[in-house]
Amino acid sequence: MSESPDVLTIETPSFAPGAVVHVAYSGGLDSTVLLHFLAHHNPRFRLRAVHIHHGLQALADDWAEKCARFSTSLGVQFELLRVQVDGFDPAGPEAAARTARYEALRGLMQPGDCLATAHHRSDQAETVLLRLLRGSGIHGLSAMRTLRTFPPGWLWRPFLELPRERLYGYAQEHGLRWIEDPHNRDPRYSRSWLRSELTPLLRERFPQVEESLARTARLSAEAAALLDELAAQDLAHAARGDSLAVGALQDLGAARRHNLLRYWLRQLGFEMPSADTLERIQGEVLDAAEDAEPLLAWAGCELRRYRDRLYAMPPLPPAPVGGPVLAWTGEQLALPPGCGLLRLPQTPPQGLSVRFMRGGERFRPAGGAHSRTLKNLFQEAGVPPWVRLRTPLVEAEGELVYVAGVGGSGRWRELFPSHAAEPVWLEPPVGAGSG
């Protein structure tokens, strides 16, 4: 006996008391069913319908008005967000629009809130196909999850295991009306082409194609979880503060080393390197001479090595070599880009200035009997070269009185005994203080 189209069986997570469920509401069939269903399925939900106005369609204003009226008819709060899509985004217009939507939606959320989207089994199948055609690995083929973290809250896809036909049946049963976006049928977009051209052909030959691809996603998610468990174990062995021990990486086989590197970079929020880049990490960075300063960069990430440590960081702005001398007059001093900031809990003494390395500096660390070259002190403390060039040097009357990471204060306390606290270097470059 077939199940009534009115019955949409989902598992409802336990959200924190007072959490708002933000429904991504485009006005199309899927999100219209989601909003109607959630408004009736669990009236205890604090729902908010959120419509993203991309400004890409002539009828966009009309669609927003229709969405607002339908939300009001359900007694659901409505929010309209306008976004701009970067038409020159190298990832393509689809990815740019998706990124803009999610960032706008995230901006509405408070800690513990939930974003609900209407993705269903057909969407999951399309995602697996697209990622397969793009050469994604196990993590990519695991595609979407029903529930995952989405800081500052959660991302929930309650319909992910349901076929789209079930949603259509629900809409018919309840007499719902929805918007048809012509972009969804435009073959210029990869997902639309899959939906209109390839998927119908696959269904003719393989009627269970969507169910099979969704199963592939579930099995891939299980395999990805196992790989993550192994990577977490390897990371516990290889981690050295904010870096990885090169020796520990070299002890692993290639596949296991690549798995650890992907996991580590993903945990840090960086884009995954390509297979070619992973090979270059081995040849150009890990196998580099001990005294080399290798750098390998890809989209949004720089990988650097110093001695036996491997560091990952966002691209660093140019070092302020020969930059201007900064007068330090307030409790906090913003340094050049990539250099962080200095802070004191009280107004600093008069006559303080801040500059950066020029070469030849000498410094007497706290407790030291004699001054030494700053270069030798940096080397002894294991400070990486890119950090040295961005380390603030605090001077008083032409003498270095504070250098972060190499014994600290120098003559600070001698010159300023009334200042109980010494300077604190905040947001320094990756690698500072990890020697």
Contact between 319 and 293 under an 8 Å Cβ cutoff? The reply is: no
Question: Does the residue 434 lie in any domain?
Answer: no
Instruction: Determine the length of the chain.
Output: 435
Domain residue limits at 345: 326-426
pLDDT digits (tens, 9 = 90+) for 282-307: 999 999 988 888 999 998 899 999 99
In this prediction, residue 35 carries a pLDDT of 96
Question: Does the residue 3 lie in any domain?
Answer: no
Give the CATH number for residue 124: 3.40.50.620
Within the chain, which residues score under 50 in pLDDT? 1-6, 435
Give the CATH number for residue 274: 1.20.59.20
Residues 51 and 176 in one domain: yes
Residues 200 and 220 in one domain: no
In this prediction, residue 56 carries a pLDDT of 62
Residues 51 and 167 in one domain: yes
pLDDT digits (tens, 9 = 90+) for 397-425: 888 888 887 766 666 766 776 666 778 89
Q: How many domains does the chain have?
A: 3
Residues 99 and 176 in one domain: yes
In this prediction, residue 43 carries a pLDDT of 65
Residues 46 and 186 in one domain: yes
Contact between 255 and 229 under an 8 Å Cβ cutoff? The reply is: no
In this prediction, residue 432 carries a pLDDT of 86
Question: Does the residue 107 lie in any domain?
Answer: yes
Domain boundary (313, 337, 361) is at: 313
Residues 194 and 286 in one domain: no
Whole-angstrom distance, CA of residue 175 vs CA of residue 163: 19
Question: Does the residue 15 lie in any domain?
Answer: no
Residues 86 and 27 in one domain: yes
Residues 172 and 219 in one domain: no
Residues 51 and 84 in one domain: yes
Please list, residue by residue across 307-339, b when 16 or more beta carbons sit within 10 angstroms of its beta carbon and e when fewer do: ebbbbbbeebeebbeeeeebebeeeebebbebb
Residues 276 and 200 in one domain: no
Q: Establish whether the linkage from the previous residue to 392 is cis, with ω within 30° of 0.
A: no
Residues 289 and 152 in one domain: no
Residues 236 and 187 in one domain: no
Tell me how far apart the terminal alpha carbons of the chain are, to the nearest angstrom: 68
Instruction: Output the CA angle 402-403-407, nearest 5 degrees.
Output: 95
Question: Does the residue 319 lie in any domain?
Answer: no
Count of alpha carbons within 13 angstroms of residue 314, beta-carbon side: 8
Question: Does the residue 343 lie in any domain?
Answer: yes
Question: Does the residue 276 lie in any domain?
Answer: yes
Regarding pTM above 0.75, the answer is yes
Contact between 79 and 108 under an 8 Å Cβ cutoff? The reply is: yes
Sheet order of strands, 243-245 included? 239-240, 243-245, 309-313, 301-306, 295-298
In this prediction, residue 100 carries a pLDDT of 84
